[in-house]
Structure 1
Amino acid sequence: MVFFKNQFANVVEWEEFRDDMIFWKWSNKEIKKGSKLIIRPGQDAIFVHNGRIEGIFQDEGDYNIDSQIIPFLSTLKGFKFGFNSGMRVEVVFVNTKEFTVRWGTQNPVMIPTPQLPGGMPIRANGTFVFKVKDYVTFIDKIAGVRESYLVDDVKLRITSVLDSLLMKWISTEGKDMFNLQANAAEISRGIREDLDMELLDIGITISGFQVMSFNYPPEIQAMITKNASHSMIGDMGRYQQASMIDAISSGKLQSGGMAADAAGMMMGMNIAKEMMKGMNGDGGQQGGNGSGSGQQGSSNASGQQGSGSAPSGGGKPNFCPNCGAKNEGANFCPNCGQKLG
């Protein structure tokens, strides 16, 4: 019975096809005479003998191994099934689709920045896309030593180097540390190129990488939001006045309370300050004109007094230079006591 059992033809196929599995290895030890190969959509079948790729079959369909597969194998073209022997060969099925995977930093990445000596703790998340590209390298490095390979295995490999790549490209392209989203495209492009070089070593290519968002610590995010709102407001004084008026009129600040009293006092001070600015502006202009005319009148008066205050003989002045009182030839002014001679 064992003799006839070994002669039964087998079907070489990947029956339990999984979307999260990158490759699967057919587990039987021998391919019997009359066996069939079934390739389903999204699969490639690779025949491996003694660690060497013998043939790659990519078109979906059913194939007779004796007549349609063996004639195309590299070193097994002349293989003939013996009386009680099968062909010892491995068949590796590869999932040919592109895998899209979500990623996220497990811990904050400390990005060096002058504003924070210890670095800026930043989290990030996004997606990356990959697929198997080089079958020879993939068989040599992965499929030759493992029975299967999952998307999670690739994700683990990528996340192990992602923190250092984020730090590298944020430092390179993050021109504004508080608005990294504006440079997300450049940062993503740099990380994709580096990851592609990293995974080509196992025959996998990264065809896409995207940073969807950068996340700051709550206190930093609150500061960024506040700064953005301030820059949109423009005139902070008017904004504060309008906010207080709105708060009081809407009933959020009840009259008679401490908050309402403080708000009313602040609003009154701000309004008084604005009024004083306006008055000082008008008064300054009028005062400037008045002081000019006053100086001119003083100049004329002093000129008139000066012309009659000192006699041509150089004796005592006829009028006191201090108060303008008439002098009768005394040495001191009888009105203010100013020395006259």
Structure 2
Amino acid sequence: MGLFSKLRGEFIDIIEFLDNTQDTIVYRFERHGNEIKNNAKLIVREGQTAVFVNEGQIADIFTPGTYTLNTENLPVLSTLKGWKYGFNSPFKAEVYFVSTKNFLDQKWGTKNAIILSDNRFGMVEIRAFGIYSFKITDAPVFIREIVGTNQSFTTRHISEQLKSIIVTRFSDATGESNLPIESYASNLNELSEAIFGYMQSDFAAYGMEVTKFLIENISMPEDVKKEIFELSRLEKIDLDKLTKLKAAKAMEAAAENPSGTAGMGVGLGAGIAMAQQMTQNMMNPSDRQNGQNTPAPPPPLPGETLYYVAINGQQSGPYNLARLLELVKQQVLNRESLVWKNGLPEWVPAGEQADLQSLWTTTPPPLPKQK
């Protein structure tokens, strides 16, 4: 902060304020017991307003320019002092220089978590932070409402009060927006604009104007964030493809099991059963081909043999004999179709299985092709 004052005798001849800081809003001109001389020079630079205060009462206001202080330039103070015919003696008055520039990149944030109600996740705690900018538009109001008799007033003195206003408006805006919590990140600009409009009247009451307001981030608890990510992924996943991938990995893991043929069969069956459980409410490939959507079959009877069938290059099943008979009638299963049951080392043609021979004797053979 710089201050240049030229002294002649004991009276101040030039009144000015050279500000080399970035955060001073108001500075009261230091008199150190000296009085202001008649016809003294007042220099008000761009981005400043000078306010004269007489015995606690705001008098004359000066915008940027150079002035000679006399009754012509001090009409209000002249009236307050009772100078009817001018004055030649020094006078006392407090001079406040108010910065009217933009104070940029002021930080704001929520000290405590804000609790919101969300339709999907219930009561959720969120936090937010961002930046804002402001400037003084009415110097007398700002001095009267905020500064008082402080010799200097910086952004630090008012930051907490402004943050409280912002957080209050942020809480109102987010509560009234009724946005799903996962949509906040994609609506930061819209929320910023809404809160920017709400704060104008709050700041105007102090002789100030909000010139910029931005929400940089809205955060939420990690468990809620994780759940949102998982739900988002599920909405994009093709469950049918995922099931087939799981089944293929289970079969691959079973094939690599070094415990021998029997162990491999058990591992393969377990892997397939796991994949089948994931898709118990989904259509089998053969059902989709015939436009059917049948519910999941009941568990097999004790001792009943179950077979898996290769249909159009895809594994399907497991099926009991009654269901296999239906596939034969639908001409989906024939003697050359590959099948597998627990205990078999590999997939084999259905016609080679003794316990499946009844399928071919109860069903007429396919009609011969027309020549």
Correspondence 1:290-301 to 2 at 5 A: none
Q: 1:231 aligns with which of 209, 219, 235?
A: 235
* 1:155/1:271 CA distance change after superposition, 3 Å: same
Aligned-residue offset at 1:229: 2.3
Aligned-residue offset at 1:146: 2.3
Q: Cα deviations across residues 2-59 of structure 1 (Å, max 9, x unaligned)? A: xx97534443122344211111111215212453323333222222223333332222
Q: Which structure shows the higher helix fraction?
A: 1
**Mean Cα deviation higher: 148-157 or 282-291:** 282-291
Q: 1:53 aligns with which of 55, 58, 68?
A: 58
Please name the residue that 1:300 is paired with: none
Correspondence 1:36-185 to 2 at 5 A: 36-60=41-65, 62-66=66-70, 70-77=71-78, 79-82=86-89, 86-100=90-104, 101-115=106-120, 119-185=123-189
Alignment pair present for 1:24 and 2:31? no
One-letter amino acid matched to 1:38: I
State the SS of the aligned residue for 2:197: helix
Identity of aligned residues (%): 24
Please give the alpha-carbon distance, in whole angstroms, between the structure 2 residues aligned to 1:221 and 1:45. Answer: 52
Which structure has the larger Rg? 1
Aligned-residue offset at 1:181: 2.9
One-letter amino acid matched to 1:26: F
Spell out structure 1 runs of 4+ moving beyond 6 A. Answer: 243-249, 261-264, 271-276, 283-286
Please give the alpha-carbon distance, in whole angstroms, between the structure 2 residues aligned to 1:155 and 1:193. Answer: 19
Please give the alpha-carbon distance, in whole angstroms, between the structure 2 residues aligned to 1:264 and 1:10. Answer: 101
Please name the residue that 1:295 is paired with: none
Unmatched runs of 5 consecutive residues or more in structure 2: 1-6, 79-84, 259-265, 293-324, 331-371
Q: Cα deviations across residues 65-89 of structure 1 (Å, max 9, x unaligned)? A: 35xxx5222234554232xxx2211
Instruction: Decide whether the 8 Å contact of 1:53 with 1:136 is kept in 2.
Output: yes
State the SS of the aligned residue for 1:202: coil
Please give the alpha-carbon distance, in whole angstroms, between the structure 2 residues aligned to 1:263 and 1:166. Answer: 57
Alignment pair present for 1:216 and 2:223? no
Please give the alpha-carbon distance, in whole angstroms, between the structure 2 residues aligned to 1:95 and 1:267. Answer: 76
* 1:278/1:175 CA distance change after superposition, 3 Å: same
One-letter amino acid matched to 1:148: S
For these two proteins, the number of residue pairs brought into alignment is: 272
* 1:51/1:8 CA distance change after superposition, 3 Å: closer
Aligned-residue offset at 1:220: 0.8
Alignment pair present for 1:15 and 2:15? no
**Mean Cα deviation higher: 34-43 or 264-273:** 264-273
Instruction: Decide whether the 8 Å contact of 1:111 with 1:121 is kept in 2.
Output: yes
Please give the alpha-carbon distance, in whole angstroms, between the structure 2 residues aligned to 1:49 and 1:129. Answer: 32
RMSD (CA atoms): 4.0
One-letter amino acid matched to 1:22: I
Instruction: Decide whether the 8 Å contact of 1:92 with 1:143 is kept in 2.
Output: no
Unmatched runs of 5 consecutive residues or more in structure 1: 292-341
TM-score w.r.t. length of structure 2: 0.60
Please give the alpha-carbon distance, in whole angstroms, between the structure 1 residues aligned to 2:161 and 2:29. Answer: 25
